[in-house]
Structure formats: C-alpha cells, structure tokens
Structure 1
Amino acid sequence: MHSKKHFGSMFFLVVFLCLSVQGYSGACESSGIQINQTNLGKSNKSIDTSFEVDIVNRCSCTISNLHVNSNGFNSGTTVDPSLFRKDGESYLVNAGKPLGSNGSIKFTYTYDRAFVITPGFWNVDHC
C-alpha cells in the first residue's frame, strides 16, 4: 500500500515537472527575440547607408531554426548567407544553428533606408 502512494506521488511530481518545463519554454515568445539596428552612416565608397543588425536571444532557452520577417529586404552589399538569408517568405538566421540564451548574431547591410525586421518563428531546443 505504501508503495502505491509513493508511486502516485512520484507520478504527480513527474507530470507537474513536465508541465512546468513546458510552460517555462513558453517564455520564448516573440518578446524574447530582440532585434536592434544601428545606423553606421555612409561609407566613402557607397551612396547607401550601412546598418548593423544585432539579433539577440533573450529567452532562457536555447533556440534554433530562427526565422525573422522583413518585407522587401534588400542590401547593396552581400550579407553572409550563413548569418542571414531568404528562406521562403521569411529569413533564416545563423543557418538555423542553435543560439543559446543571451546569444547574438550580428550582420551588416547597406541600403538607402533601414528595413523593419521582426521575430518570426523558431524551435525551442534546450530549456
């Protein structure tokens, strides 16, 4: 009889922990992906302005397959495709590789104006 109570308690604890972890990973909502752009000005060689984009994972979990949205994005200079590339209707960041909590990816592009870049979707890997 005692072992049945112990099993029931352990089962409840395991279910509770699983639900807690699942809820915890829910903290990786769009507000957990921070996207900052800095205007670097114009270089002597270009009429376009350079912008540095810093994408930071503020989630407490490791994420991967991070996609962002940016309608009409274009650049007068080549952006390293392992950092940022078109993938269907969105843009894949860091070639889909894992990005740990507080990890960041930076890239630079040039154009006559800054593009709005917003969080899209991603996978939560380790929490």
Structure 2
Amino acid sequence: MINSFIATLCFGLIVIQGLCEECSLSKINIGTERSGREIQGKPEWNVTVINNCSCAQSQIQLSCKGFQTAEAIDPSVLSMEGDTCTLIDGNPLQPLASVHFSYAWDPPFLLLPVHSVIADCS
C-alpha cells in the first residue's frame, strides 16, 4: 500500500515537473486582428495575449519598438517604457488565460514576448 502511494506521488511529481518544463516565452501567443473600426483615420487592431502554459507567467514584457497608437490603452493592461511594454502591470497571467487590448495604427505592429517569469508549478 505504501509502495503504491509513493509510486503514485513520484509519478505525479514527474508529470507536474514535465508540464513546467514546457513553459517558455514560446507559450505566450499573441494574435492581432482588425476590428473594422477606424480611430482618427487609423485602423483599429484587437490584440489577444494568451498564456498557453500550464504555469502562470508574470512580468510579461513585449517588444514594442516603434509602437504607436491613436487610441488610448489602459496602462494597467499595457504600459510602454522605451522599446518594451509590460503586460497587466507585471501581474501573473494564469495558465490558459488571456488579456485583450486594442490600438489604432497603420500598419499593425508585430508584438513579440521578450521576457517573463514562470511561476513554480508545484
């Protein structure tokens, strides 16, 4: 009985560790699509950032070199500092969760994740 409990516990830890090892910046997916609206003559773009990781990721920063918008973005969702933008004030984006924001500019910007801190999955 104790041996099967220990085996089950070890297997569970291996599975959890394996899931955490899969977490990386490549698990943060960013989708951008045109909303159909125009703001100050610029097309509006809806952005969705998804954490496709089994662990929370915080301190998510995106490359925002040259980023501009004719539409205000709530700074608690996306704050710009130089060539990087911080998502949701650096707070954790939970596993499989997403955050959304919109901006207006032409052409659309390629926003890429450049940094995150992966939470301990245990």
TM-score range, shorter chain: 0.7 to 0.9
SS of equivalent to 1:31? helix
Which whole-Å CA distance do the structure 1 matches of 2:46 and 2:28 have between them? 16
Q: Which of these residues, 28, 34, 37, is aligned with residue 29 of structure 2? A: 34
Letter in 2 for 1:34: N
Q: CA separation of 1:71/1:88 partners in 2, compared to 1, >3 Å: closer, same or farther?
A: closer
Q: What is the aligned counterpart of 2:90 among 88, 96, 101?
A: 96
Q: 34-43 or 74-83: which moved more?
A: 34-43
Shift of 1:121: 0.7
Name the residue aligned to 2:110: 116
Q: Which has the larger radius of gyration?
A: 1
Tell me what 2:3 maps to. Answer: none
Structure 1 position 86 matched with structure 2 position 86: no
Aligned counterpart, 2:71:
77
Whether contact under 8 Å (2:49, 2:100) holds in the other structure is yes
Alpha-carbon displacement from aligned partner over 1:17-69 (angstroms, at most 9, x marks no partner):
59x73x642312222000000111233x6310000000000011011111111
Amino acid at match of 2:21: G
Percent of pairs identical after alignment?
Answer: 27
The alpha-carbon deviation at position 81 of structure 1 amounts to 0.5
Matched positions, count: 111
Aligned-pair CA distance for 1:90: 1.2
Structure 2 alignment gaps of length 5 or more: 1-5
In 2, Cα distance between equivalents of 1:105 and 1:121: 16
- Please identify runs of 4+ aligned residues in structure 1 that moved more than 4 A: none
- After TM superposition, the score normalised by the length of structure 2 is 0.80
CA contact (8 A) 2:24 2:118 kept: no
